[in-house]
Amino acid sequence: MNFRVNNLLPILLVLLLAGLTLWLRVAVEQTEPSRAASNRHDADVIVDNFKLVRMSPAGTPLYSMNAQRMTHYPDTDTSELVLPAFFKRGPDGVTMSVTANSAVITPDASEARFRGNVQLRRSAIGEQPPMLAQTEFLHLLADKDLLVTDQRVTIQEGSTVFSGVGMEFNRAARKIQLHSQVKGHFNAIKHN
């Protein structure tokens, strides 16, 4: 009988180790965070009265972005803004601002997508009156001085009013292009 117990002892030890290994694996898997939790869209930073100023290498302000609230999401590395206001003064002294109900900005803040009651304002240029453009969506590429929308837009400059669907506004070149369904009322400047 002693001979049989000695032969079974190694088998019993292997079975015991296999059972402990299985138990340990189940215990570890239950304590790991679920993969679904890591894919959630949860904020990691919330800032009230947010203000961002982008500086040039020389230390002068290029543009600023303010918002009532900024919420950053690490899964997309984007920030959502409530009541954002973008402001930029060009080297020519002409200012441009964009306000909206909300916006999403890229990690380096070089791009913003404004939504809801978007208003683009440009200050007067010499005798040319200030401009106001209104739309529901506007994609801003700040470093390129480019603003683009595929939505209906209305542009007013003094008593001149244009509307259309889709717009590309190159601020540096002072060029506005409306893409389709363009309608307008144009008042020529009278020269004496």
In this predicted model, what pLDDT tens digit does every residue of 93-143 receive, in sequence order? 888 999 999 999 988 878 999 999 999 999 988 888 999 999 999 999 988
Residue 81 near residue 50 (C-beta atoms within 8 A): yes
Tokens for 152, please give them: 């209906």
Question: 72 in the Ramachandran plot: left (φ > 0), alpha (ψ -120 to 50) or beta?
Answer: beta
Domain ranges in the chain are 2-32, 45-185
Burial class (CB in 10 A: 0-12, 13-18, 19+), 100: buried
- For the four alpha carbons of 86, 122, 144 and 181, in that order, the dihedral sign comes to positive
Confidence of residue 13 (pLDDT cuts 50, 70, 90): confident
Q: What does the pLDDT average to over 165-192?
A: 81
Q: What does the pLDDT average to over 42-46?
A: 81
Other C-beta atoms closer than 10 Å to the C-beta of 143 total 13
Residue 147, pLDDT above cutoff 90: yes
Nearest in space to 147 (alpha carbons), one of 123, 102, 100, 111: 111
The residue behind tokens 């020269």 is 191
Residue 178, pLDDT above cutoff 60: yes
Selecting from 1.10.10.60, 2.60.450.10, 3.40.50.1950, 3.10.20.600, what CATH number does the domain 45-185 have? 2.60.450.10
Q: What does the pLDDT average to over 166-187?
A: 86
Instruction: Give the pLDDT confidence score for residue 109 in this predicted structure.
Output: 77
Q: What does the pLDDT average to over 49-73?
A: 89
Instruction: Give the pLDDT confidence score for residue 12 in this predicted structure.
Output: 73
